[in-house]
Amino acid sequence: MPLQIVRNDITKMEVDAIVNAANSSLLGGGGVDGCIHRAAGPELLAECKTLGGCETGSAKITKGYRLPCKYVIHAVGPRWRDGKHGEREKLVSCYRTSLALAKEHGCETVAFPLISSGIYGYPKDQALKVAIDTISDFLLENDMTVYIVIFDRKAYQISEKLFSDIAAYIDDTYVDAHTDSRASQLRRMQMLSEEPEEAICGAPMAASAKSLDDALSQIDESFSEMLLRKIDEKGMTDAQCYKKANIDRKLFSKIRSDRLYKPSKPTALAFAIALELPLDETKEMLMKAGFALSHSNKFDIIIEYFIEHGNYNIFEINEALFAFDQSLLGA
């Protein structure tokens, strides 16, 4: 998928470029900055000394040296004061400048830390939103795979209200699906005991006999056919759909060219979200891919929560899925 949130050590990411949350001197420091300089070796500092520093909200690029990446992009994020001194604009500029440098140097894969969310004090939930929004806007017009790298759970935070609302929805839905009163059990047992033997055992074999050819001739619309039909009905282009779904172009081409292509469940749901399908049509699209939503699955309940609340922003959904340790949408 073009945008992924991963838990890893950014110095171990095998990508074309990693982004360093640097200070304005570019001469190293604490946190991510210090880790990157230590892993890259003294050659990185030597090159940084030739750059003459960097303004807040901007970025400069160097070689990766002993790191597994080709380049290090040094982005200088803002220090958080109160949110009223241009912090958001400067942080957005950090991401935009870094992505522009990556594109200019032919990078196809880039890994970002959550810039300014450490010792610079930018609230983590707001820093994450800026990162997601800015990167996703860039990816609508550009082909690149971008990672937001979270070192540990303490470094990652969605809004407290959203987390609480989703947690409550999961609890309520899961309880509803798994609560089975004694009265409900007795009613089901009574209904089974009253059914005639034919209803339980099924009709005689001869009455339902059908040739395999007859059955296969009545195959329903496939996942691929429904997807392409819905794209046309929504008046979207292919590119608008797969980018909104956080799906790369190569995978979409496979789906388009293969009528019987069977996607993974996260891929199928990503397209349903991109098309902003209501819950019943989402379930229909899933069924055509061979899946279903279940109230015994936390991943499914979170997806259902966002659909029922009319929030089809796949990147916000992925933030929530990551916070609850679930697979992300896309491919």
Query: In a structure prediction context, what are the per-residue pLDDT tens digits for the chain, which is 331 residues long?
Result: 789 988 899 999 999 999 999 999 999 888 889 999 999 999 999 999 999 999 999 999 999 999 999 999 999 999 999 989 999 999 999 999 999 999 999 999 999 999 999 889 999 889 988 999 999 999 988 999 999 998 766 555 566 677 677 788 777 776 555 554 445 555 555 554 555 555 445 555 444 555 666 655 556 899 999 999 999 999 999 999 999 999 999 999 999 999 999 999 999 999 999 999 999 999 999 999 999 999 999 999 999 999 999 999 998 899 899 888 898 998 6
Three-class DSSP category at 282: helix
Nearest alpha-carbon partner for 133 in 326, 317, 315, 9? 315
In a domain, residue 192? The reply is no
Non-local CB neighbours of 52 within 8 Å, separated by 6+ positions: none
Whole-structure pTM value? 0.75
Indicate whether 153 and 167 sit together in one domain.
no
- Look at residues 103, 123, 157 and tell me which one is the last residue of a structural domain: 157
Residues 229 and 256 in one domain: yes
CATH at residue 124: 3.40.220.10
In a domain, 308, yes or no: yes
- Domain residues for the domain of 262 are 161-178+219-323
Neighbours of 234 (CB within 10 A): 13
Instruction: Please answer whether residues 132 and 148 qualify as being in contact, where contact means their C-beta atoms are separated by less than 8 angstroms.
Output: yes
Residue 61: beta bridge partners? Answer: 73
Mark whether 250 and 126 lie in a shared domain: no
Q: Say whether both 9 and 106 belong to one domain.
A: yes
Q: Are residues 82 and 229 in the same domain?
A: no
Together in a domain, 90 and 62: yes
Say which residues have a Cβ less than 8 Å from residue 66's Cβ, sequence separation at least 6.
Answer: 39, 40, 41, 43
Same domain, 144 and 244: no
Residues 228, 174 share a domain: yes
Domains of the chain: total: 2
Q: Are 35 and 41 in contact (CB under 8 A)?
A: no
Q: Are residues 83 and 227 in the same domain?
A: no
In terms of domains, do 111 and 238 share one?
no
From the number of C-beta atoms within 10 Å of its C-beta (0-12, 13-18, 19+), residue 47 rates as: middle
- Residue 55 and residue 147 in one domain: yes
Is 208 inside any structural domain? no
| Whether residue 92 sits in one domain with residue 148 | yes
